[in-house]
Amino acid sequence: MSQREDRIKNKIRARCAEEIQEEAALLRARADHAPELDWFLDLLAAGPDSSVIAERVGRPVAAVLCLQAPLELFHACGVHPYKIFGGSQTAPRLSGPSLPAVMCPMLRSALGLLLLDSAEDGGAGCAGWVIPTTCDWVVKFPEMMRVCGRPIERPVHMMELPHLKDRPGSQERWLEEVYALRDFLSSLGGRKPDRRQLLASMQVYQEAWGAFSELTALKREGRLPALWFSVITNAFFFDSVERWTEHVRAVAAKFRGTEPAGKGVFLAGSPIFFPNLKILHLLEDAGLNPVADDLCSAERLFPGAVFCDDPSEHGMLKAMAQRYHQGCLCPTFADNDRRVNNIVSPANRGLFGGVVFQVLKGCHPFDLESLSLEQRLKDEGLKYIKLETDYTAEDSQNLLTRLEACRSTLD
C-alpha cells in the first residue's frame, strides 16, 4: 500500500470511529438513557472489528450476510455468528470507487468497514463465511470484496435460498441446505453436534426469544423507544447470545414503568444499522413512535423460537429449516403476502394509524415492494409515506418536513 493510500485509509478509519462515538454520546445524553443500556452501547462503541468479537466470545466466528441461516445451528456447532452490516456514512468512501454508482449503501458501507478490519484476510477474524442467496448484492458480495482488493481468504459457504416458500419441493431443498450448513459449521467449530447439543442450543435461543418478545411488547406499548430497540438488536451479534439475553431482561425490567410517547406508526423497509440511526431520530423529532416494524435489523432479528415435536436430530434440523424459511418476511421471496398481512393483522391495527416505508437508494427488493404495498395499505385505510434516502445527512430537513406533514394527518 502506498503512503497516500495509507493516509486516506487512516483518515477514514478515524472518521468512522468519530461517527460511532458521536452517535453513542448522543444516545447517552438522552433523557431516557438508563445504565442498563450501557452494555449494548459499549459493544457498539467498540466498533465492528470481528477479530475483537472473536476474542470476546471465545469461539470461532462465522460471518453471515442474511438471517436465513439458523442461529441455533451455529451455536450447536460451537461457532459464533457475526452479521456483516455497515452503518457508517464515511466507510463507503473507501469502497465506493471500486463499486457500481447505484448499489445498496448498507453493503457499500459494510465493504468499506471490512477494508478497515484489523485482520489481514479481509474476513475479519472470521473462520468462514455463510452467504444465503437473497438479493443480488448479497450474492455478489465475495466478488465485490475481490474487486475492492481484499478477497475473502476464508472458506465461503453459499446457501441456495428457494424463493418460493410454499412449494414442498422448495422446503425439501432448504432442508438439504441446512444439513449442508451443519457440515460446514462443524468443520469450523471442530464438532458435529449431536441431538443433545442441538436441543441445548434450541433452548438457549428459546430463552433469548422470550426476552426479546418481552422487549417487543414494551415497544408495542410505546414504552421502549425504537431507537433503544435498534441499539439492542444491533448489538446482538457482538457478544454471546447468553449474555445478550441477560442484559435484555434487565432493560425490559427498567422500561416497564415508563409512559408511552408519540403517535404510533409501523416502520417498514430497508434495515437500519448503528451509527446511521438518522431515520429513527427524525421520526422522534416529528412526534412519531415506531411501535412495530418488520426490519431485519430490528423485530425480524428472530423469525421466532424453534419448537419441534420430533426430538430426533432430523426432526430438530427440519424444525429449524421450516422456522427460518417459512417465518422469514424478506422481500426477495416471490410468495410474500404474509409480509403485508403481518402489517394489517388485527393484532396490530389498533397500535398505529400509518406506515412509514423507508428505502435505501439501490435497495431494489424493497423499492419494488413499495409499489404493491402502498395500494394494499391504502385499501386497508392506513396512511402511508415512503422515504427514499441514502447514507447522508443532507436530506434530513426534507425528510423531517414530510414526516411532520404525515404526523398531522394522523390526528
| Residues 324-336, mean pLDDT to the nearest whole number | 85
Query: Looking at the structure, do residues 17 and 151 belong to the same domain, yes or no?
Result: yes
Q: Which residues contact 403 (CB under 8 A, 6 or more apart)?
A: 282, 283, 285, 286, 288, 356, 385, 387
- Say if CB 140 and CB 107 are below 8 A apart: no
* pLDDT at residue 368, as a whole number: 84
Whether 35 has a pLDDT exceeding 50, the answer reads yes
Cα 358 to Cα 86, 122, 384, 388, distances in angstroms: 17, 31, 11, 6
* pLDDT at residue 186, as a whole number: 97
| Residues 305-310, mean pLDDT to the nearest whole number | 87
Please indicate, yes or no, if residue 8 is contained in any of the structural domains. Answer: yes
| Residues 325-346, mean pLDDT to the nearest whole number | 80
Cα 10 to Cα 5, 21, 85, 144, 301, distances in angstroms: 9, 17, 21, 22, 33
Residue 271 pLDDT level (bands cut at 50, 70, 90):
very high
What percentage of the chain reaches a pLDDT higher than 90? 70
Whether 374 has a pLDDT exceeding 80, the answer reads yes
pLDDT in tens, 344-368: 775 666 788 899 999 999 888 888 8
Please indicate, yes or no, if residue 200 is contained in any of the structural domains. Answer: no
What HEC string does 179-231 produce?
HHHHHHHHHHHCCCCCHHHHHHHHHHHHHHHHHHHHHHHHHHCCCCCHHHHHH
Whether 121 has a pLDDT exceeding 50, the answer reads no
Whether 125 has a pLDDT exceeding 80, the answer reads no
C-alpha cell at 396: 434530513
Whether 315 has a pLDDT exceeding 80, the answer reads yes
Q: Which residue has the higher pLDDT, 21 or 116?
A: 21
* pLDDT at residue 348, as a whole number: 67
| Residues 269-290, mean pLDDT to the nearest whole number | 96
Query: Looking at the structure, do residues 160 and 233 belong to the same domain, yes or no?
Result: no
pLDDT in tens, 172-189: 999 999 999 999 999 999
Residue 1 pLDDT level (bands cut at 50, 70, 90):
low
| CATH number, position 229 | 3.40.50.11900
The count of domains in the chain is: 2
Please indicate, yes or no, if residue 13 is contained in any of the structural domains. Answer: yes
Please indicate, yes or no, if residue 313 is contained in any of the structural domains. Answer: no
Q: State pTM to two decimals.
A: 0.94
DSSP annotation of 85 reads -
Query: Looking at the structure, do residues 254 and 130 belong to the same domain, yes or no?
Result: no
Please indicate, yes or no, if residue 272 is contained in any of the structural domains. Answer: yes
pLDDT in tens, 37-79: 999 999 999 988 888 898 999 999 999 999 999 999 999 999 9
Whether 342 has a pLDDT exceeding 90, the answer reads no
Cα 181 to Cα 169, 281, 327, distances in angstroms: 19, 38, 19
* pLDDT at residue 16, as a whole number: 94
| Mean pLDDT, the chain, integer | 91
Query: Looking at the structure, do residues 224 and 175 belong to the same domain, yes or no?
Result: no
Query: Looking at the structure, do residues 234 and 105 belong to the same domain, yes or no?
Result: no
Query: Looking at the structure, do residues 182 and 52 belong to the same domain, yes or no?
Result: yes
Query: Looking at the structure, do residues 177 and 261 belong to the same domain, yes or no?
Result: no
Whether 118 has a pLDDT exceeding 70, the answer reads no
C-alpha cell at 167: 412449494
What range defines the domain where residue 232 resides? 213-305+329-409
Residue 370 pLDDT level (bands cut at 50, 70, 90):
confident
Query: Looking at the structure, do residues 252 and 294 belong to the same domain, yes or no?
Result: yes
What percentage of the chain reaches a pLDDT higher than 70? 97
Q: Which residue has the higher pLDDT, 22 or 120?
A: 22
Query: Looking at the structure, do residues 339 and 281 belong to the same domain, yes or no?
Result: yes
Whether 120 has a pLDDT exceeding 70, the answer reads no
Query: Looking at the structure, do residues 157 and 237 belong to the same domain, yes or no?
Result: no
